[in-house]
Each structure stands twice: as structure tokens, then as C-alpha cells.
Structure 1
């Protein structure tokens, strides 16, 4: 199978497009993967599966085929078998491999290879996932700012505003859906060695006791940013699926950037509200932030 890395248009916000079908591949679960030269569909990233896949339709010769899932696939330099997700043995972006967006159909579409296809993303689902993903990044910046006084020393990694990057340093998992993003942070020995303290000090109460005030501080920042209707954009060095893209948001404090492969809002005025709920486990070893966007 000789294929080139799929070109993607979702970073610009595209939800439709046209492209020829390059290949149809049966999957091990009885479904079928359709590869096109370009696509507006955002696939699940097998290395960091935080944002779920787009769904929608693929129309060929007037026949509308539901796209029930969207995955990442790859083909090696020898042009061998198509590998999917966790079965890919090399790091994402290996330049010797072709990296593919796989539009998953529930059944065999027949002989459609070489035919032009119209691709359409479920716009309601895309908008909800984009709101959750933008909310996730804003939560990261607000939480970093609110927790900045709890660092005894410079951990060696800062966010766009110069605050210690708690979000990056403590992140255990980040998952979003159409309702919220859920970010889980480990507050273990490794983080303490880097300088973070959850215990009470002469200047600060224990993190468990400070949680209500911390939550309020984070939500105040989120509310201010939404009210500012900050512009959001994705910068990409190229159209390839594997291009290393950056999320940019023009916040009142200045421009914020975070490397990200997902989809996002065009501006924060698309939200009516963004609030987070912080939860600390009883043993104090894990902090979870559940951030819910309310669309305008």
C-alpha cells in the first residue's frame, strides 16, 4: 500500500471538504477504514487520546455513508500492512511512515477507491468537543496561576505567563467529551521534589483546606477570560496530520500558546460560561479538575 500522510483541514475549523478515496481497508472488528487524500475530520490520537474522534458522513456517488469513528493509522516505508492505533510500532510523526486519518464505517462500502468523496463532520459534536478542549487549556493556565505560590523553588518549566507549569508537570490524564474536560494530576513525591507543596506552610494553608478558595480563584480567572472574548487560533507549520500545531489565545494578560493537536473555538465569546470543579482525593495524592463550558 503506497500512501502519503493525510492532509487535514480541521486546524482552521473546517467541517467539510472533498477528496478522492485512496484506499479502503477492513479492520479486525468487522468495520472498514476509508482513507482520503485530505479530510476535515479529527481522528483520535493514539499517543495522547484526549479528544474523541469526529463523526459525520462520507458521500460517494450520491450515497451517504455514516462515519462512526475516526482513527489514526500508519503505513511503513516498505508499503506493508496498514497499522492502527496502538499497533503502530514507531513514534508518531516518524518521517519514514505515512500517517493516515481513517474514516471508520460500520460496514463494507464496496468498491469506492478512486472515487471523489464529500466529507462532512457532525458540526454539533465538533463544536462541543472544541469548547471542552479550549476550556481544558484555559483551566491549565488558570490553575497554574492560582497554584504559583505553592512552589518552593523553580521547577524548570513555566507556562506562557511565566508561572510554574503545574498542569504539565503533574498531569496524569486529560480526557474530554461533549460536556466537559476532566484533568487528573498526581501530587506525589516526584512533584514535591520539583518544589511543589500541598502541605501547610507559614504563609499558606494545606491544599485540602485551601481548595474552596483555589476553586474560586480559578473560576474568577476563567470568567474574566470568557468576558474578554479572546481570539483563538491554531497555527500549523504544514497541512500534514503530523504537523506540530500550537493553540494560541489572545488573553488580557498577553498571548498564550500550548502545543495541541485538537480542535478549538474561534473566540471565547462563543462561551456563555466556563467553570471548573476541583476535587482532591482523601489521601491528598490526586487532584481532579472537571471543567464545563456553557456555550453562548
Structure 2
């Protein structure tokens, strides 16, 4: 059994869906086979920040299409392969290789050394890419709309506004054609200088209209989007870059995206307050035309 000795090369950051590859490692795990290849077009879910779900699709081996039930980030130090939340080190740790693990049926006819073709589903990829791009745009627009509610200097976002999104966010979930972000309005946020009380009493529908209007302005401008990369390896740094009318925004991101905000169509933003064990939480949901 041969474990990978270098990071998987990934082609999804440049929009690839189909990728010829060679199988480096196969092992059974919980009734499935884990398949690691030298290169893949599949975007995997990352347990460290599982905001974007994995691609769906198939691996074709020996003329047979094998359904990929799950794709996750895996890691090895040469002794064993660790999957998802079981990875004991941070991504990029020296002496470790990080890979995309494709999980297929346990009786699949696939072996180390096999040439294969990996295909990610185009419609599922596009829906998640639109949702992820909308998420970034809405977070920047929310920061802008809340900028006047800070009484102390706060770290800036990619456009120079106080980064409410980065400071208050507790979870982000990319969905087909949208996203759901959750922000805790707690004592730490108040101590940082944010007017939590004012936001709790604010007209959230009006705030959502303001955020949505900003996003829609960027959609009408057809703002270009690209992914800058330090390399093709799974752990190489990647950055979402949008040429917005108000300036260039750059946000570290390992997900997939649309090529422009113009692709979002009729972008929608909704805000609501929910309770989490006594702490108010602001939820922002986006939706776009898929």
C-alpha cells in the first residue's frame, strides 16, 4: 500500500471539471474505498472550515463510471492516511502530504496505478460557485452597511471597511445558489466597539435592502472575478479577487466561484435575528438565479 508523498494537484480553481489522473492510493474505510489520485478536478470538503460542500460526480476506471459519494481533504505523514476531522495537524504542516480523498463503493474495481478520468458534475459545481461568490459579495456589502456602527477602530476588510463579517462570524454554509452566514452579537463584539444594541433594534428588512442593493449594483457592473494561486497544490494559497466598482477586493478562499458578479442575476439578501442559548445571532442568507 503506497501513500502519497506530495499534495494532490487540483484543477478546480481554474474551473476544470474533467481531469485525467492516475490512482496513487486505495484503501477500504467504513465500507467504502478511499481513492487518492495525483491530480483531480474535484473540490473536496475541508473539515477545518467546511463552508462549501464537495463536488459530486464520477471516476471512470476500466470503462466503468464509479460514483464519488464524498470527497474530503486527507493527510498523511507516510504512516497512515487520516480523513477529514481525524487529521491531527493543520493543513500545510511540514512533513505531511495533503490529498483529495474520493470515496467510492467498497466493491469498486479500481487499484493503485490505474489511469482514470475524474468528472465533476457541471450543474452542481455552478450552483455552489454562484452561491460562494454571492456569499463574498454580500459579506463585503454588509461590512459597508454596518461601518458607521463601530465606535473603535476595527481591522479592515478587503475594501477597507470595518470587518464585521470576519470578526463576528461563527459559521458559513455555501448552498446551491446561495449561502447562510451566522454572526454572534456577543459581549466580545460590544467590547470591540460595535453597537450591538443598535443593531438589535434596527430595521433588519431595511438593512437587508441596503446590502442587497449594493450587491445588485456590483452585479449590474458585471464585476470580474478571478482566483489567484500560489501554485497548483491542494494547500497552496488561493485568493478570490473581484474588480468591484469601489475597488479591488481580495479574500483568501479555497472554494469555487463564478467568473463575474454579473452571473449572479437577481441577487437577494435576507437578515434575521435568532437566539443561540441566550446570545443573539444575526443570520444573513443570500440567494441568486441559478
Residue 55 of structure 2 corresponds to 54
Q: What pairs with 1:233-244 in structure 2 (closer than 5 Å)?
A: 233-244=226-237
State whether residues 134 and 264 of structure 2, in contact with CA within 8 Å, keep that contact through their aligned partners in structure 1.
no
Q: What pairs with 1:140-289 in structure 2 (closer than 5 Å)?
A: 140-155=139-154, 157-200=155-198, 206-281=199-274, 285-289=280-284
Q: Count matched residues.
A: 286
Distance 2:179 2:13 in 1: 19
State whether residues 208 and 284 of structure 1, in contact with CA within 8 Å, keep that contact through their aligned partners in structure 2.
no
1:120-146, CA deviations, whole angstroms, 9 ceiling, x for partnerless residues? 101100000001100110011000000
Distance 2:35 2:283 in 1: 37
Distance 2:68 2:279 in 1: 42
Residue 44 (structure 1) shift: 0.4
State whether residues 276 and 292 of structure 1, in contact with CA within 8 Å, keep that contact through their aligned partners in structure 2.
yes
Deviates more, 1:275-284 or 1:145-154: 275-284
1:87-112, CA deviations, whole angstroms, 9 ceiling, x for partnerless residues? 11111111210101011112332342
Residue 286 of structure 2 corresponds to 291
Distance 1:125 1:286 in 2: 30
The secondary structure found in structure 2 opposite 1:176 is strand
Structure 2 CA distance for partners of 1:74 and 1:280, relative to 1, 3 Å: same
The secondary structure found in structure 2 opposite 1:144 is helix
Distance 1:31 1:208 in 2: 51
TM-score by length of 1: 0.93
Residue 175 (structure 1) shift: 0.7
Distance 1:111 1:176 in 2: 32
Structure 2: 5+ residue stretches without partners? none
Deviates more, 1:132-141 or 1:99-108: 99-108
Distance 1:111 1:251 in 2: 46
Q: What pairs with 1:120-131 in structure 2 (closer than 5 Å)?
A: 120-131=119-130
The secondary structure found in structure 2 opposite 1:52 is coil
TM-score by length of 2: 0.95
Structure 1: 5+ residue stretches without partners? 201-205
